[in-house]
Amino acid sequence: MRKKDYIFATMIFLIFIIILLRLWQLQILNTEKYKKLAEQNRIRIIKIPAPRGIIYDRNGIPLVENIPSFAVSISPEYAYKVDINILAKILNLSAEEIEKKLSKKYESIYMPIRIKEDLTFKEIAMLEARRSELPGLIIETEIKRHYPFGPATAHLLGYLGKITEEQIKDNLQYKNLPSYFMVGQTGLEKIFDDKLRGTPGEKIVEVDALGRELRLIKESPPVKGEDIYLTIDALLQESAYKSLETLTGAFVAIKPDTGEILALVSSPSFDPNIFVEGVPQHYWNELINNPQNPLLNRVIQGLYAPGSTFKVITALAGLEEGVITPDKVLVNCTGGISFGAWTFGCWKKGGHGPVNLRKALVESCDVYFYELGRILGIKKIHKYATLLGLGSPTGFNSDEKAGLVPDDEWKKNDKKASWFLGDTFNTSIGQGFLKVTPLQMARVMAIIVNEGVKVTPYIIRGNEAKKENLNLNPKNLEIIKKALSAVVNEPEGTASGARSYIIKFGGKTGTVQVISKKLKEKVSYKNIEHHAWFIGFAPTDDPEMAFSLIVEHGGSGGAVAAPVAKNILEGYILKKRQLNVKN
């Protein structure tokens, strides 16, 4: 054989060997890989969302529900074959939006790529009519969350949103879910997401070239999430929101003997239904840039000086320590009290005259409580304020603010300054460094009318509250309770203008200075008006609820907050009578 022929034969042999090796690699080594690539053209895995559990109020009224909805997706193998312009025209989306969605290369080669949710029947009909031009088209039935009370329950229930990358990292349960699945982002929807979410189902189907299902290979049905029953009374919740809707503030009511939360409203609020469909950027920007902060739950995160509502605590401290009696005239109020070069005024410039405890609470005499604070001293005021739960979270949930009850040690450590008698005066009437949440003040009211038993507020029906007997003298509590009833129901009371003939209630007004009185007289801007408080209980004879209400920059507690409380209670009672609802 010539050398030239030998070389040629060798080359042919080597090429043959290379082809054999390649065939061996394809058919033996990479069998599974190419089998999977072939199957992706005919196998589709469809995740089926589980119906979320329903959240009910104490009377079985649904606060959140599920409604059917439709969505369109594209099978991933057709991501670059589908006619984007047809989709854009039918779905009223831009071609760029659809292209961006299709280019994401979702979690799995089998997982459909979601294009649009909440389809109209017209959109569904148009998609079906042009299915032959849209290979890989999938129209899915899903369940959409709906909040029938809208903004009235937003801070309580929270809202749903699509799974975020952070949530996938933090929660292994989310890793195998499509990124368009909705999970709880805030409120009870987030806290109880594991229970409410249920277990998603899965369907494995064979499809043809157009993405139409040919046969079902395997199916595991979804398992519905657990239903949750709350202690909330939907009628009281709705009445509170309607009364506060145009104001900035908060209302919370609890059952004094159990700690069950009956209503929890923060205003301004937001519509959680908008979040279900994917919150538009402009709406989100409005929320986060709103100076009134609609996303803030003021019931547990709003911190305010309690104003004259704190006088209830100062009064109780005086009775418990034995430094006052109900009938003892402690001061002759002439409109103020002097201390060195300083004068601490009473809200009533002309004074209240001779004042005993009942008159001090009913007419909210500042001078009486200045003197009582001086006698008690800051240590004892601090003792009773913390005993009644101020300065620490109530135990309701982890997002609560603790607030602040100041004393000389706190001021020394925090302000690097000494404590003065003027600080004690301010603390005695609920001003100065004091900071409380509306929920804390509602619980203070509950302790007064529940014979000195402190309960931990809770919201899931069937739970049992932690209870602590504070060993307060029942006679002292009854003295305060009767005086607070007179605040509303007798002519001289600071809340007498809010007296109701539908439901008899009692309570204490409070007005919190935002700026000094002298400066306030020179300007008239809304945001420097005083905060208006009212804490109360109803009905007076056998209280079924203790509550607190604050209206930011509302003005006077007696002129503003107490009438709002009246509106809430009357609206609730009238609605109950209309529907014949019993708790």
Give the catalytic positions in this structure: 308
Instruction: Specify which residues 206 forms β-bridges with.
Output: 43, 215
Instruction: Specify which residues 510 forms β-bridges with.
Output: 533
Amino acid identity at 221:
P
129: how many CB neighbours lie within 10 A of its CB?
10
Does residue 263 contact residue 240 with C-beta atoms inside 8 Å? yes
Q: What angle do CA 345, 248, 229 make, to 5 degrees?
A: 120
Phi, psi of 449, deg, nearest 5: -90, 0
Output the 3-class SS for 527-541: HHCCEEEEEEEECCC
User: Residue 180 and residue 134: Cα distance in Å, rounded?
Assistant: 21
Residue 147's H or E segment, with its range, is none
For residue 234, count CB atoms less than 10 angstroms from its CB and return exposed for 0-12, middle for 13-18, buried for 19 or more.
buried
Instruction: Specify which residues 515 forms β-bridges with.
Output: none
DSSP codes joined into one string, 155-196: HHH--EEEPPHHHHHH-GGGTTS-TT-EEE-SHHHHHTHHHH
The CA-atom distances, in angstroms, between 144 and each of 49, 180, 277 are 10, 12, 9
User: Residue 224 and residue 201: Cα distance in Å, rounded?
Assistant: 10
Question: Please, which residues have CB within 8 angstroms of residue 96's CB and are 6 or more apart in sequence?
Answer: none
Buried b (16+ CB within 10 A) or exposed e, 312-337: bbbbbbbbbeeebeeeeebbebeebb
User: Residue 464 and residue 458: Cα distance in Å, rounded?
Assistant: 8
Q: For residue 554, which of 284, 248, 266, 309 has the smallest C-alpha distance?
A: 248
Instruction: Specify the long-range contacts of residues 10-13, CB closer than 8 Å, at least 24 apart.
Output: none
User: Residue 406 and residue 309: Cα distance in Å, rounded?
Assistant: 17
Q: For residue 425, which of 359, 345, 481, 326 has the smallest C-alpha distance?
A: 345
Tokens standing for residue 379: 């240590």
Question: Please, which residues have CB within 8 angstroms of residue 549's CB and are 6 or more apart in sequence?
Answer: 249, 250, 251, 438, 533, 534, 535, 536, 561, 564, 565, 568
Across 101-157, where does the E strand assignment appear?
113-116, 137-146
Phi, psi of 211, deg, nearest 5: 85, 10
Q: What angle do CA 290, 294, 298 make, to 5 degrees?
A: 130
